[in-house]
Chain A
Amino acid sequence: KAGVTQTPRYLIKTRGQQVTLSCSPISGHRSVSWYQQTPGQGLQFLFEYFSETQRNKGNFPGRFSGRQFSNSRSEMNVSTLELGDSALYLCASSLEQGPQETQYFGPGTRLLVL
């Protein structure tokens, strides 16, 4: 089975722009979660989607949003980018909803905001 794929792998944006990141889960997985990884804050949970609905949400501002499509693929959008949004964004998929489920992570999208 193919693993979790994320596109693009690297991205450079400037402050004020918006960005969309994409995640394709493992075939058959219905849940997709997003995490932000930075040297200072570590790994922080953004949100989880299951059956096209946001089921769980972390403590991030409304500039961070996401959606899930009927084929379970997910996109994450960040609007009005700030320098502090520079991070590695990781997507993880699991068979079912919830943090108890084993999460399978993609390699991440590294975003640099200038």
Chain B
Amino acid sequence: GNSVTQMEGPVTLSEEAFLTINCTYTATGYPSLFWYVQYPGEGLQLLLKATKADDKGSNKGFEATYRKETTSFHLEKGSVQVSDSAVYFCALTSTQGGSEKLVFGKGTKLTVNP
């Protein structure tokens, strides 16, 4: 089935630093790709998504581009804030045995210091 590999954390940055969290995938067909974010003590929230190659998802200053040639969907932000501290999950859709589901990466914990 489809799978996702994202960079292991934790990642610690200073405020206003540039952020990249790498995500690569293995998939058959054309999955949709997602970034979800989990703030402390909360459930996951969709951050952005892309449904086809070369699509760019963006939200709250975060961006990710669906790169089919490199099977990647790296998350970037030009200037992080303390409030961006959270765990970030890359995910993709997967169909296996007639069942559809979201497959998540292990998550990358980001801490932004003032």
Give the B-binding residues of A (Cβ under 8 A). 4, 33, 42-45, 48, 55-58, 90, 92, 98-100, 102-108
Mind listing 7 A-B residue pairs with CB under 8 Å? A43-B104, A45-B102, A45-B103, A58-B101, A99-B100, A100-B93, A104-B45
Q: Tell whether B67 is near chain A: CB-to-CB under 8 Å.
A: no
Q: Tell whether B81 is near chain A: CB-to-CB under 8 Å.
A: no
Q: Which residues of A contact B46 (CB under 8 A)?
A: 102-104
- Give CA–CA (A57, B95) in the complex, Å: 11
Q: Which of B43, B94, B102, B106 contacts A107 (CB 8 A)?
A: B43
- Give CA–CA (A44, B101) in the complex, Å: 9
Q: Which of A42, A104, A107 contacts B104 (CB 8 A)?
A: A42
14 extra A-B contacts, CB within 8 A, seeds A99-B94, A100-B32: A33-B102, A43-B89, A45-B102, A45-B103, A55-B100, A57-B99, A58-B99, A58-B101, A90-B44, A99-B100, A99-B102, A102-B49, A104-B45, A104-B46
Closest CB-CB distance, B28 to chain A, in whole Å?
Answer: 15
Closest CB-CB distance, A109 to chain B, in whole Å?
Answer: 11
Q: Is the interface of A mostly helix, strand, loop or mixed?
A: strand
- Give CA–CA (A31, B89) in the complex, Å: 21
Q: Which of A4, A42, A58 contacts B43 (CB 8 A)?
A: A4
Q: Which residues of B contact A103 (CB under 8 A)?
A: 36, 44, 46, 102
- Give CA–CA (A58, B97) in the complex, Å: 10
* Inter-chain contact B100/A98, CB cutoff 8 Å: yes
- Give CA–CA (A4, B107) in the complex, Å: 22
Interface magnitude class on chain B: 20 to 34
Closest CB-CB distance, B64 to chain A, in whole Å?
Answer: 16
Q: Which residues of A contact B51 (CB under 8 A)?
A: 100
Closest CB-CB distance, B91 to chain A, in whole Å?
Answer: 8
CB interface residues, B 59-114, toward A, < 8 Å? 89, 93-94, 99-107
The verdict on A56 contacting B106 (CB below 8 Å), with A4-B43, A100-B51 known, is no
